[in-house]
Amino acid sequence: MIFAEGMIADLLVMLVCVVLVFVFIYRARGGMKVPAIRKINGLEAIDEAIGRATEMGRPVHMTSGLGAVSDAETFAFWAVLGHVAKQCARYDTRIINTNYDEQVYAINEEIIRQAYLEAGRPDAFNRDDVRFISNWQFAYAAGTLGIFQREKVAANIMVGYFMAEALVFAEAAYQAGAIQIAGTTATAQLPFFIAACDYCLIGEEIYAASAYLSKDPILVGSVVGQDWTRIGLFALIIIGTVIANFMADPKKSPLYVFLKNK
């Protein structure tokens, strides 16, 4: 047997998702006309937020929350960070990035440095504005709260994986008078971002960020692939529901056996 026992369903499901994305990236490369992504207010507002900070002459703050380098949320954050850092470098707006995870911190510093380099202003990059605070959740929150107030942050952009500190950040940044854009996949924290922030990216909307912000047709192609995966998911759920309702013993149907036999 070439495939690991109990992992075949996992592998197949993963491959279907990944291959669909790949197919549309491939087709977009080949010149397929890609449709527009629906308006996502939270992403639309990013440039507005940077603009506001620029006008006020105050910094933009960015955080990826508690995500590690092995969290997909952090990958999404990097796409947004790359964009924001480039804009900030271009408009000479200070960008502060606070961190919870050392590994993410190191990578973030590279991203921001590179953005300044590409904007032709490597000298304007300030290493001290990319800061590691603590890898304890609330020590990280405490340090960041202080920064919101002391640095008078004008825009606060939070994208990534968050836990209870989400609302601490959102309220403290509100008190500091910052415009806020927040996005996370953590369903438990979304309600607080919805309530306390100006714009909110819900769940997978953060994964469309790279395509949305860059408008690169190839990346948009991958988002089309995401939508096709969703259509596949619909089909699967409907078939599963039909089986659950019309088969005498659904647990014995091939689909159930395949998906549950892990």
Give dist(CA 50, CA 57) in Å, integer.
10
Of the CA atoms within 13 Å of residue 176, those in its CB half-sphere come to 28
Give dist(CA 81, CA 104) in Å, integer.
12
Does the footprint of another protein cover residue 252 (CB under 8 A)?
A: no
- The residues in 79-108 that bind another protein, with binding defined as CB under 8 A, are 79, 81-83, 86, 99, 102-103, 105-107
Give dist(CA 257, CA 255) in Å, integer.
5
Q: Which of 57, 121, 139, 177 binds another protein (CB under 8 A)?
A: 139
Does the footprint of another protein cover residue 168 (CB under 8 A)?
A: yes
With a CB cutoff of 8 Å and minimum separation 6, the contacts of 82 are: 111, 114, 115
Q: Which of 52, 118, 151, 217 binds another protein (CB under 8 A)?
A: 118
Does the footprint of another protein cover residue 113 (CB under 8 A)?
A: yes
Minimum distance, C-beta of residue 92 to another protein, in the bound complex (Å): 19
- The residues in 42-61 that bind another protein, with binding defined as CB under 8 A, are none
Does the footprint of another protein cover residue 151 (CB under 8 A)?
A: no
Helical (H) or strand (E) element with 155: strand 155-161
CB 50 within 8 A of CB 88: yes
User: Of the ranges 44-52, 54-62, 88-96, 192-200, which one interacts with another protein (CB under 8 A)?
Assistant: 192-200
Does the footprint of another protein cover residue 23 (CB under 8 A)?
A: no
Bridge partners of 61, per DSSP, are 96, 156
The nearer residue to another protein, 19 or 55, going by C-beta atoms, is 19
